[in-house]
Amino acid sequence: MRVITGTARGRKLLTLDGNDVRPTSDMVKEAVFSIIHFQLPYANVADVFAGCGQMGIEALSRGAKKVTFVDNSKASLDVIRQNIQTTGFTRQSNVIASDAESFLAHAVEKYDIIFLDPPYNQGYGEKLLPLLARPLADDGIVLFEHGKDEPLPDRVGGLVKKKDYRYGKIYVTSYVKEEAAEE
């Protein structure tokens, strides 16, 4: 796995072995970043269920101001820290050991972009989507990766679905705040 473009282009990233982490494919990663291309420069980003940190590191490489990496696995957190150091993004990174629900319920910052890539088909959409409006900036966007058998609601907790993107068996659903959708 590698950084696709930007200041850290081509840098190899470590990942964990086994089924606990499911890195986003380059095809899906490139598609996601084309969705947020114009929102990315100087953005404050949260990479929740960060795994190895590839989405947040790609965001930093493409011009994000800061990324908060959130994961509750010690092994993942160690890999994230190594990848951040390898790519030179230590100063723009904040690594938090927390489960997603606790982090989102208690987040004090506002995020322009929130990436969520939880384990598929375990009800995370139902648990986490209602918590996202508060930490999301007024003109921010949520990008929620999920399996095709896990449909997400059109409206939930002050958010409205902007669009579903399909990449084979993987879906990425984007959400914005209701007020932003009406503009």
Q: How many domains does the chain have?
A: 1
If residue 69 lies in a helix (H) or strand (E), which one and from where to where? strand 66-71
Q: Rounded CA gap, 153 and 2, in Å?
A: 33
Q: Could you list the residue range(s) of the whole structural domain that residue 85 is in?
A: 26-117+124-137
DSSP code, position 127: H
> Which has the closest alpha carbon to 84: 58, 111, 65, 107?
58
Contact criterion met (CB below 8 Å) for 155 and 126: no
pLDDT tens column, 102-133: 999 999 999 999 999 999 889 999 999 999 99
Question: What SS3 class is residue 175?
Answer: strand
pLDDT tens column, 71-112: 999 999 999 999 999 999 999 999 999 999 999 999 999 999
CATH number at residue 131: 3.40.50.150
Q: Rounded CA gap, 5 and 87, in Å?
A: 12
Question: What SS3 class is residue 100?
Answer: helix
Domain annotation covers residue 68: yes
Domain annotation covers residue 131: yes
